[in-house]
Amino acid sequence: MLRLEARPAPSRAMMFASPLIAAAAMLLTGSLLFSFLGQEPLHAFYVYFIKPASTAYGVGELLLKATPLILCGVGLALGFRASVWNIGADGQLTIGAIAGGCVALYFREVDAAWVLPLMLVAGALGGMAWAAIPALLRTRYNTNEILVSLMLVYVAYLLLSYLVHGPLRDPHGFNFPQSRMFQEAALLPLLVEGLRTNVAFILSLVLTAGAWFFCSRSFIGYRMQVSGMAPAAAAYAGFSEKRNVWLAFLISGATAGLAGVGEVAGPIGQLQPSVSPGYGFAAIIVAYVGRLHPLGVLLASLLMSLLYIGGESAQMELQIPSAITGLFQGLLLFYLLAADLFIHYRFKPAMPVLHAVPTTD
Amino acid sequence: MPADQPRLKMLGICKSYPAVVANSDVDLTVMPGEIHAVLGENGAGKSTLMKIIYGVTRPDAGEMLWDGRQVRVRSPAAARKLGIGMVFQHFALFETLTVAENISLALDERVTPALLGPRIRSVSEAYGLPVDPNRHVHGLSVGERQRVEIVRCLLQSPRLLIMDEPTSVLTPQAVLKLFESLRRLAAEGCSILYISHKLDEIQALCGKATVLRAGRVSGCVDPRRETSRSLAEMMIGKELPTCHMAPRAPGEVRLAIRKLTLSAADPYGTDLQNINLELRSGEVVGIAGVSGNGQQELLKALSGEVPLTTPAAVQLEGRDAGLLNAAERRGLGLCFVPEERLGRGAVPDLSLADNALLTGYVPESGMGMVRNGLIQASAVREFARRVIDRFNVKCGDETSHAGSLSGGNLQKYIVGRETLLTPKVMVVAQPTWGVDVGASMLIRQAIIDLRDQGVAVLVVSEELDELFMMSDRIAVLADGRLSRAVPIAEASVDQIGLWMSGNFDADAIVADQGAGNHA
């Protein structure tokens, strides 16, 4: 029988190979699944993974969808490195969207260049404020931040729903639960004419670079990493646990808030009852598939974005249920965690056969 | 069965782990009624061999003969069925249960605790190991807990008892009592495998010794006919190194502990009661005591990891430091080597260089590792390389992960790091726990060198020999109370041992106030 044994040192090769193995295993399982659904696997894969990215417009859509994932994922990755479990990025994204949206609606008559930056700042602050609640409860009352941040997601959804059904509803919108469309000055400029990708993508790249610098060069980043890896060592060195929790929540809250503004000031262009199909949750997978490394998050976001878009494409062309997207996301994470085992462990070579002796059991 | 039939015979035992060969072609023969020492440094393969005998680990190759019959022991339960009992170095007892309940859980037969009571009493009295079956374990001292473990083994009337480093948790007096019990047991025909690295104990107790070095048997001798030196040479392959300490007059008070009283955060921790101590520049004060008597609590109160409420309870260089956190105290010149190396003194998954930054970031240390909030990678690497060179740390280079180093090498690295940060006050906990003899001497010498440079050094250790070797004064921590610090020339092992068991006589306490003024 195969047995596992600990490697003397974590395998670097496996660290890079593991996401690839996970992706391969996901594709393999996916092909089984497609054949059960009566689809030709190769064609289904083409429709799912290649066709969406085969046109310029498709690539634009890919980057557009990747943007909120990058923004949320980078922030979450920084927090997860510090062992602070913010599961509520989707809520922080929603509150960020509300805050940015309120600025846009309040200054709807203004056509000035400062509206958009102000929206972004408001969105980041909104996300931070929402993230501050679990941080405060954790540092003050030692509550579990996973539960608090998760439950606040649903509070945020309901708050947005209330606002677009009530105070922020478009008076000329035939009673549809949505706000006015934002004016031109409150919309993110497009990068290339004809594509929907906007400057939020550039912002996400800048933030990724900033996060990479923060992790590798700044002392605060180092402190957060130590707090995550070995809390007793952090206490020994004199790094404050409370500051660690606050920083992790504020950073991930701010980036999630930005992602929210990116959505409402980007492809959506107004406040709607729902502004995110669960980017904040998908970003958790993105953060782990990306090895909690900013550059890894960037690549993982592109992959995840492809899963979303491919899912839509498969839904339309092959009449496959939309649940397939979630299924692929789950498969990817599942296989990644399984493959990660082999970073620290390996199969033990078969044991030499001992000569037969009476045994005692 | 012939009388010269060995009780246990191990032949050609081999066991390797991914990174290390733990046992290589090891033979071991134990006669009935023999007290047989297995001697070796940490990492020599003693524990692996015992785990193989007790069925915890399976060997890659080799045979085991029990009363001349070949057996393969697949589990500890199988070992117990054969009549093998083992007392581990670290006890596995439930704190919230009574002695009888604990033993009842550990026995293979199903007996209710109530029925066990009388049996526990009779066995414990017969072998001079008094334990009350109805007491809760959390109220027991470490020595009493060990007795519980031994009694648990004795209830199964073992024919071979394995004792893994049993004296590391005992006072000198308790060691003598344990030896009496073991001799009585051996006289009744039970074989005893006694694992230790303490030469004097083995010479006092054992009639036979198998010495292991780097996984191989380097000798099988009668320890009473050997000298400590010849045993040590067998054990480490060369002459036992020594460390050198010249007398020196201490200077001004660097660290003062005044009326420090602290309730433990852990419900089973030890409360500190009115602790007073003055530590001067250029002296080493040793704190003896069996662990679990408040060492953890005292060290955390000194390092700042546990916040205090009274500013004057800890004073560094005359400044009240009680309210300061660990980082601020480091800023005042305090350096600290904790007893847990992995996860506290060092982060296992970070490189040695990154681990240099762990405490080297303090601006007052003058290492310039952090400027404007940014890590100065070259300064960090350079410092790490200095530590590795100066303390002869065996590792790849400064990019090796801390977790990949052996315990001794990592300890050298941590002690080296704290030493090179130019401390004014150095606190060291268990400097040589799990460290081989050669590295131990290097670490001790480094600590003495610090003292010679005028640093005030506090050493907390369980090893009395070590404290007598390197202290100018020695105090005892027992039940959360600290005795006065006695100049080493006036201290005797008997006296210190008595205090370690919590028997503070008038001499231990009354002179408290004068303790700091003797110099």
Query: Three-state secondary structure along B395-450?
Result: CCCCCCEHHHCCHHHHHHHHHHHHHHCCCCEEEEECCCCCCCHHHHHHHHHHHHHH
Which of A353, A360, A361 should one mutate to test binding to chain B, selecting the residue with the greatest count of B CBs within 10 A?
A360
Q: Which residues of B163-180 are buried (b: 16+ CB within 10 A; e: fewer)?
A: bbbbbbbbbebbbebbbe
Q: Residue A105 in 3-state DSSP?
A: helix
Do A217 and B305 make contact, defined as CB atoms within 8 angstroms? no
Do A359 and B72 make contact, defined as CB atoms within 8 angstroms? yes
- Rounded to 10°, the helix B172-187/B493-500 angle is 90
Contacts of B81 in chain A (CB under 8 A): 360
What count of CB pairs under 8 Å joins A to B? 100
- d(C-alpha A122, C-alpha B493), whole Å: 70
Pull the structure tokens for residue A185.
């000055």
Partner residue opposite A358 with nearest CB, options B70, B325, B329: B70
Residue type, B500: M
Cβ–Cβ under 8 Å, residues A120 and A185: no
pLDDT value at B517 more than 50: no
Do A232 and B375 make contact, defined as CB atoms within 8 angstroms? no
Q: Please state, rounded to an integer, the average pLDDT across all residues of chain A.
A: 90
pLDDT given at position A350: 54
pLDDT value at B431 more than 70: yes
Regarding predicted confidence, which is higher, A153 or B131? A153
Q: How far does Cα B314 stand from its chain's mean position?
A: 26
Do B72 and A351 make contact, defined as CB atoms within 8 angstroms? no
Q: What percent of chain A has pLDDT over 90?
A: 62
**Which whole number is the average pLDDT over B115-129?**
86
Beta pairing, strands B374-375 & B370-371: antiparallel
Contacts of B354 in chain A (CB under 8 A): 222
| Helix%, strand%, coil% for chain A, nearest 5 | 70, 5, 25
How do the domains of chain B map onto residue ranges?
8-236, 253-517
pLDDT band at B405 (very low <50, low <70, confident <90, very high): confident
The per-residue pLDDT for range B261-275, each reduced to its tens digit, is 998 877 778 899 999
pLDDT value at A354 more than 70: no
pLDDT given at position B518: 41
To the question of domain B253-517 being in CATH 3.40.50.300, the answer is: yes
Whether A8 and chain B come into contact, CB under 8 Å, resolves to yes
pLDDT given at position B2: 54
Regarding predicted confidence, which is higher, B197 or A63? A63
Q: Name the minimum distance, in Å, from the CA of A7 to any CA of chain B.
A: 7
The per-residue pLDDT for range A320-340, each reduced to its tens digit, is 887 887 888 888 888 988 888
Contacts of A217 in chain B (CB under 8 A): 374-375, 377
pLDDT given at position B171: 81
Which residue in A220, A202, A215, A231 sits closest to A293, CA to CA? A215
Partner residue opposite B358 with nearest CB, options A226, A354, A358: A226
- d(C-alpha B416, C-alpha B443), whole Å: 8
- d(C-alpha B141, C-alpha B148), whole Å: 11
Partner residue opposite A8 with nearest CB, options B18, B330, B336: B18
Which of B305, B306, B397 should one mutate to test binding to chain A, selecting the residue with the greatest count of A CBs within 10 A?
B305
| Measured distance between the N- and C-terminal CA atoms of chain A, rounded to whole angstroms | 19
Do A219 and B78 make contact, defined as CB atoms within 8 angstroms? no
- d(C-alpha A62, C-alpha B461), whole Å: 62
Q: Name the minimum distance, in Å, from the CA of A287 to any CA of chain B.
A: 19
Contacts of B359 in chain A (CB under 8 A): 236-237
* Eight-class DSSP state of B7: S
Partner residue opposite A7 with nearest CB, options B18, B72, B73: B18
* Eight-class DSSP state of B159: S
pLDDT given at position B167: 80
Regarding predicted confidence, which is higher, B146 or A99? A99
The per-residue pLDDT for range A168-194, each reduced to its tens digit, is 998 888 889 999 999 999 999 998 888
pLDDT value at B353 more than 90: yes
Q: Which residues of A12-42 are buried (b: 16+ CB within 10 A; e: fewer)?
A: eebeeebbebbbebbbebbbebbeeeebebe
- d(C-alpha B214, C-alpha B46), whole Å: 10
Residue type, B8: L
Which residue in A252, A274, A72 sits closest to A157, CA to CA? A274
Contacts 24+ apart (CB under 8 A), B232-240: B232/B199, B232/B437, B234/B39, B235/B39, B235/B40, B235/B41, B235/B44, B235/B197, B235/B211, B235/B437, B236/B41, B236/B436, B236/B437, B236/B438, B237/B213, B238/B438, B240/B437
Cβ–Cβ under 8 Å, residues A69 and A258: no
All residues at 6 or more sequence positions from B35 whose CB lies less than 8 Å from its CB, including other chains: B182, B183, B186, B191, B192, B194, B205, B206, B207, B208
Cβ–Cβ under 8 Å, residues A259 and A279: yes
Q: Please state, rounded to an integer, the average pLDDT across all residues of chain B.
A: 88
Phi and psi at residue A82, to the nearest 5°: -90, 10
> What are B280's strand-pairing partners?
B253
Which residue in B332, B297, B291, B290 sits closest to B315, CA to CA? B332
Partner residue opposite A360 with nearest CB, options B78, B330, B344: B78
Do A237 and B326 make contact, defined as CB atoms within 8 angstroms? yes
Phi and psi at residue A167, to the nearest 5°: -55, -35
Whether A230 and chain B come into contact, CB under 8 Å, resolves to yes
pLDDT value at A353 more than 70: no
Pull the structure tokens for residue A135.
């941080």
Number of Cα atoms under 13 Å in the Cβ half of residue A84: 35
In this prediction the pTM is 0.82
* Eight-class DSSP state of A195: S
pLDDT value at A63 more than 80: yes
> What are B277's strand-pairing partners?
B257
Whether A352 and chain B come into contact, CB under 8 Å, resolves to yes
**Which whole number is the average pLDDT over B102-126?**
85
Q: What percent of chain B has pLDDT over 90?
A: 52
Pull the structure tokens for residue A49.
């993974």
CB-based burial label for A90 (10 Å; 0-12, 13-18, 19+): buried
C-alpha distances out from residue A354 to A361, B12, B215, Å: 16, 13, 21
**Which whole number is the average pLDDT over A133-145?**
95
pLDDT value at A356 more than 50: no
Contacts of B358 in chain A (CB under 8 A): 226, 233, 236-237
pLDDT band at B432 (very low <50, low <70, confident <90, very high): confident
pLDDT value at B324 more than 60: yes
Which of A4, A236, A247, A357 should one mutate to test binding to chain B, selecting the residue with the greatest count of B CBs within 10 A?
A236
The per-residue pLDDT for range A268-297, each reduced to its tens digit, is 999 999 999 999 999 998 998 888 999 999
Cβ–Cβ under 8 Å, residues A275 and A163: no
Q: Name the minimum distance, in Å, from the CA of A291 to any CA of chain B.
A: 15
Do A5 and B18 make contact, defined as CB atoms within 8 angstroms? yes
Contacts of B401 in chain A (CB under 8 A): 9-10
pLDDT band at B178 (very low <50, low <70, confident <90, very high): confident
- d(C-alpha A283, C-alpha A90), whole Å: 9
- Rounded to 10°, the helix B377-390/B407-420 angle is 120
Q: Residue B130 in 3-state DSSP?
A: coil
- d(C-alpha A124, C-alpha A130), whole Å: 10
Do A361 and B74 make contact, defined as CB atoms within 8 angstroms? yes
pLDDT band at B3 (very low <50, low <70, confident <90, very high): low
Number of Cα atoms under 13 Å in the Cβ half of residue B438: 13
pLDDT given at position A361: 45
Fold observed for domain B8-236: Rossmann fold (3.40.50)
Pull the structure tokens for residue B163.
């004792």
Pull the structure tokens for residue A315.
């839904």
pLDDT value at A359 more than 50: no
**Which whole number is the average pLDDT over B33-43?**
88
pLDDT value at B197 more than 60: yes
Residue type, B239: E
Q: From the CB of residue A143, how many other CB atoms can be counted at a distance below 10 Å? A: 14
Contacts of B340 in chain A (CB under 8 A): 232
pLDDT given at position A95: 97
Quick one: closest CA in B to A351, which residue?
B60
Which residue in B227, B189, B222, B190 sits closest to B205, CA to CA? B222
pLDDT given at position A349: 64
pLDDT given at position B462: 86
The per-residue pLDDT for range A213-234, each reduced to its tens digit, is 999 999 999 999 999 999 999 9
Whether A360 and chain B come into contact, CB under 8 Å, resolves to yes
* Eight-class DSSP state of A157: H
pLDDT band at A307 (very low <50, low <70, confident <90, very high): confident
CB-based burial label for A232 (10 Å; 0-12, 13-18, 19+): middle
Do B60 and A352 make contact, defined as CB atoms within 8 angstroms? yes
Q: Name the minimum distance, in Å, from the CA of B404 to any CA of chain A.
A: 7
Q: Name the minimum distance, in Å, from the CA of B58 to any CA of chain A.
A: 11
Cβ–Cβ under 8 Å, residues B183 and B197: no
**Which whole number is the average pLDDT over B441-459?**
94
Q: Give, for A336, the enclosing helix (H) or strand (E).
A: helix A323-344
Where are the extended beta strands (E) located within B128-271?
160-164, 191-196, 208-213, 216-221, 253-262
C-alpha distances out from residue A309 to A52, A64, A192, A283, Å: 7, 10, 20, 16
How do the domains of chain A map onto residue ranges?
77-194+201-294
pLDDT value at A346 more than 90: no
